[in-house]
Amino acid sequence: MSKELSYLEAIREALAEEMRRDPKVFVLGEDVGPYGGAFGVTQGLHEEFGDLRVVDTPISESAIVGISIGASQRGYRPVAEMQFADFISCGFDQIVNQAATLRFRYGGRATVPIVVRAPSGGNVGGGLYHSQNPEAWFIHRPGLKVVAPSTAFDAKGLLKAAIRDDNPVVYFEHKYLYRRAKGPVPEGDEVVPIGVAATRREGSDVTLVAYGAMMTPSLEAADRLAKEGVEVEVIDLRTLLPFDKDAIFRSLDKTNRLLIVQEDVKTLGIGAEISAVVMEEKFDRLDAPVMRVAYPDTHPPFSHILEGANLPNADTIAAALRKLAAY
Amino acid sequence: MPPIKRTKFKLTSEQLLEMFYWLKLIRAFDERLSILVKQGKVRSGVYTGIGQEAIIVGTCFGLRREDFICPLHRDLGALLMKGVDARTMMSQMFAKTTGLSKGRDSALHSGVNELGIFGNTSMLGANLPVAAGLGYTFKMEKSDNVVIAYFGEGASNVGDFHEALNFAGVQQLPIVFICENNQYAYSVPLEKTMAIDDVAIRAEGYGFDGVAINGNDVLAVYQATQGALARARGGDGPTLIECKTYRWHGHSEHDKAFYRTDEELAMWKSRDPIPTFTTYLRARHVLDDQKLKEIESKVEATIEDAVEFASSAPDPSPEDAVSDLYA
Ligand SMILES: Cc1ncc(C[n+]2csc(CCOP(=O)(O)OP(=O)(O)O)c2C)c(N)n1
Ligand SMILES: [Mg+2]
């Protein structure tokens, strides 16, 4: 049995191991140096790898991504940190127009092996600009890959896969999970492949698809439903772009019912896309409308009362599961 | 254009005492917030401006209601001086319905157009292009109102800063850009993020004057601001004033600030803007023990009343999380 790490430590270990393995890997971002990052993810890296490979940048998100792209054209594999996913908007153009399109523009003759790490998500009392889940902005952009781990195992394994991937990967790490999620992590060269979902619970009555911090309330809701005689199959997407269509379809063949849970706002989140794909390709298998439990279409408020009212939880998820099961 | 002279803009004894009151009130407000965070009563990220108050008082003092300010995360005092009452401000920090955001955000992300206060997002530098827009309307209207836009030295590395100053220079807008250079951007000292000593010289690249002054001397800040305001009101365009200062607390109340030395902090504490000004006022017989006591009890009563009010003010209700999204 391998050792247990927190989600945050797992990310740190992935960075350290990849930097040891490949001298072309380096990290850059605000306060990532001696301070070790706003959340402590890069703690110890500066000490081990020095100024040139652990770069404290000015407050310049657009430059952080642009510099990463530049370095990637010379064979480096930069890992850029956004201090909060919310600030990724300030580096948006470089990600969606520069990085995402480069290979296409170059006639397939270049790659952009960068990773942009973005601490996302709410339930940490962060308010409007320290709680956002901006993943849908990026799953709307061909040329990017987007991942969102929910366990320490995947946090490490997916980051290693992202660093080794030749495409730009936006890596959403959920702040709520940093110290709350703990578990074994892959050792040595093992990675978690991008594009492959994980079945966290088997069941034959309803399929529930979720990711990130929504896994915990989803599994809790599934446990409750089991006591009521409804077996829910819970799938952790892990990768949002490209998402694992086959895993969802395989499960639907058993259950014929689908619920998608996302912390992102409802309109045009990944749930909308999954739902549309299922309509197009699996309509004949459905016994009930595809349903979603999502954040309401609003901004993440600071007040814990308001935030609590917005976030999907085991109650709201269980209610949706019951509705689906009874349909 | 010649550099700004330390023109003597005369202040009466009453005005000097009023300045003193503001210094004391703003200090006390932040100190109280710091305690409230430790007590768990205020749950937001609190970024105090303790040690930097002379900048706010020296720049806001005597502004017209129609003038606009664009404050940042440490500039709570600017909102108070521009007319937000202490109860409302404290409610904002408590995320209560009586705050500016009605509990939706606790930080300084809200504004009041009627009072000439623009509320920024968390995105550093994002207030500066907005300041240019505000200033542009004053120019269109041929009015002699002005905009005061604040930013940290760290934020002067954001692209928005440069885009805003360029436009302000080209258009000769009535804006005074105030750099609060407190030597650090979170954990990162200035010398790691810019290859110049004075942010002030950045103004030159945009065709207007920049000066660096002692930001802990409220009268120096006032004099420099008045000079710049006179030019802005007279149609002579923008000025950048860099106020050298230091923040005493960590970046936010959660930051232990291990990245700086005790000696450095002690050195700056010896330049505390409040005792310096107190000595000045006493030497001129503007302030005596009696007046000092009066001012101190007024400050204390104001803070007590605000905390009392905010603590017992109503929390928002869940509907507030999804309202006010559209006009
Ligand atoms: C665009 C953007 N990137 C990152 C952050 C996170 N952040 C908040 S304050 C801060 C440091 C700000 O330094 P400075 O501008 O010097 O202002 P100070 O806090 O020192 O007053 C950082 C990096 C942010 N708010 N906005
Ligand atoms: Mg600073």
Q: CA of B162, closest CA in chain A: separation in Å?
A: 12
Chain A contacts to B (CB-CB under 8 A): 30-31, 33-35, 38, 56-63, 84, 86-87, 89-90, 125-130, 296-299, 301-307, 309-310
Distance CA A133, CA A115 (A): 17
**Tens digit of each residue's pLDDT (9 = 90 or more) over A231-240:** 999 999 999 9
The pLDDT score that the predictor gives to residue B105 is 87
**Tens digit of each residue's pLDDT (9 = 90 or more) over B21-78:** 999 999 999 999 999 999 999 988 899 999 999 999 999 999 999 999 999 999 999 9
From-to residues of CATH 3.40.50.920 in chain A: 198-326
- Of the candidates B27, B67, B65, B69, the one whose C-alpha atom is nearest the C-alpha of residue B48 is B27
A239-241/A77-81 β-pairing: unpaired
The 8-class DSSP code of residue A303 comes to S
Please, is A284 exposed, middle or buried when counting C-beta atoms within 10 Å of its C-beta (0-12, 13-18, 19+)?
exposed
* Minimum mean pLDDT range among B2-16, B141-155, B258-272, B290-304: B2-16
The pLDDT score that the predictor gives to residue A2 is 64
- Residue to mutate (ligand 1; options A35, A56, A59, A88; most atoms within 8 A of CB): A59
B209-214/A232-236 β-pairing: unpaired
Q: Does the CB atom of residue B54 touch ligand 1 within 6 A?
A: no
Residue A202: partners with Cβ closer than 8 Å, 6 or more residues away: A231, A233
∠ CA A120-A293-B44, nearest 5°, is: 40
A63 and B199 Cβ atoms separated by less than 8 Å? no
Q: Has residue B6 been placed in a domain?
A: no
**Tens digit of each residue's pLDDT (9 = 90 or more) over A13-34:** 999 999 999 999 999 999 999 9
Q: Would you state the torsion angle of the CA atoms of residues A47, A53, A56, A57, taken in this order, to the nearest 10 degrees?
A: 180
Average pLDDT over residues A129-153: 98
Q: Does the CB atom of residue A39 touch ligand 1 within 6 A?
A: no
Q: Do B186 and A35 touch (CB under 8 A)?
A: yes
- What element of type H or E holds B151? strand B147-152
Q: Do A306 and B104 touch (CB under 8 A)?
A: yes
| pLDDT over threshold 50, residue B3 | no
- Residue to mutate (ligand 1; options B124, B156, B194; most atoms within 8 A of CB): B124
The pLDDT score that the predictor gives to residue B7 is 54
Q: Does the CB atom of residue B193 touch ligand 1 within 6 A?
A: no
Distance CA A19, CA A106 (A): 28
Give the distance (Å) from ligand 1 centre to CA of residue B304. 30
Q: Catalytic site residues of A?
A: 130
**Tens digit of each residue's pLDDT (9 = 90 or more) over B178-228:** 999 999 999 999 999 999 999 999 999 999 999 999 999 999 999 999 999
* Minimum mean pLDDT range among A1-5, A293-297, B98-102, B115-119: A1-5
Average pLDDT over residues B302-316: 97
Q: Do A34 and B157 touch (CB under 8 A)?
A: no
The pLDDT score that the predictor gives to residue A78 is 98
Per the listing, tokens 């292009």 go with: B129
Distance CA A174, CA A319 (A): 25
Distance CA B165, CA B154 (A): 15
Query: Which residue type, as a one-letter code, is found at position A153?
Result: F
Number of domains in chain B: 1
From-to residues of CATH 3.40.50.970 in chain A: 4-184
Query: Which structure tokens are listed for B270?
Result: 């010896």
**Tens digit of each residue's pLDDT (9 = 90 or more) over A223-233:** 999 999 999 99
Query: Which CATH number do you get for residue B59?
Result: 3.40.50.970
∠ CA B262-B266-B268, nearest 5°, is: 120
The pLDDT score that the predictor gives to residue B1 is 40
Q: Is B95 on the interface with A (CB under 8 A)?
A: yes
pLDDT tier, B250 (very low <50, low <70, confident <90, very high otherwise): very high
- Does domain A198-326 correspond to CATH entry 3.40.50.920? yes
Q: Is B10 on the interface with A (CB under 8 A)?
A: no
Residue B212: partners with Cβ closer than 8 Å, 6 or more residues away: B181, B198, B199, B200, B242, B244
- The ligand that comes nearest to the alpha carbon of residue A61 is 1
- What element of type H or E holds A14? helix A7-21
**Tens digit of each residue's pLDDT (9 = 90 or more) over A185-208:** 999 999 999 999 999 999 999 999
ipTM over 0.95: no
% of chain B with per-residue pLDDT over 70: 98
**Tens digit of each residue's pLDDT (9 = 90 or more) over B131-159:** 999 999 999 999 999 999 999 999 999 99
CATH code of domain A4-184 = 3.40.50.970
Query: Which structure tokens are listed for A103?
Result: 């290979």
Distance CA B299, CA A292 (A): 52
Domain that holds residue B122: 13-313
Distance CA A18, CA A160 (A): 7
| pLDDT over threshold 60, residue A1 | no
Q: Does the CB atom of residue B250 touch ligand 1 within 6 A?
A: no
Please, is A192 exposed, middle or buried when counting C-beta atoms within 10 Å of its C-beta (0-12, 13-18, 19+)?
buried
Q: Is B133 on the interface with A (CB under 8 A)?
A: no
Distance CA A117, CA A159 (A): 9
The pLDDT score that the predictor gives to residue B2 is 42
The pLDDT score that the predictor gives to residue A3 is 87
Q: Do A59 and B157 touch (CB under 8 A)?
A: yes
Distance CA A296, CA B300 (A): 42
Rounded to two decimals, the pTM is 0.93
| pLDDT over threshold 60, residue A67 | yes
The shortest CB-CB distance from B104 to any of A57, A297, A303 is to A303
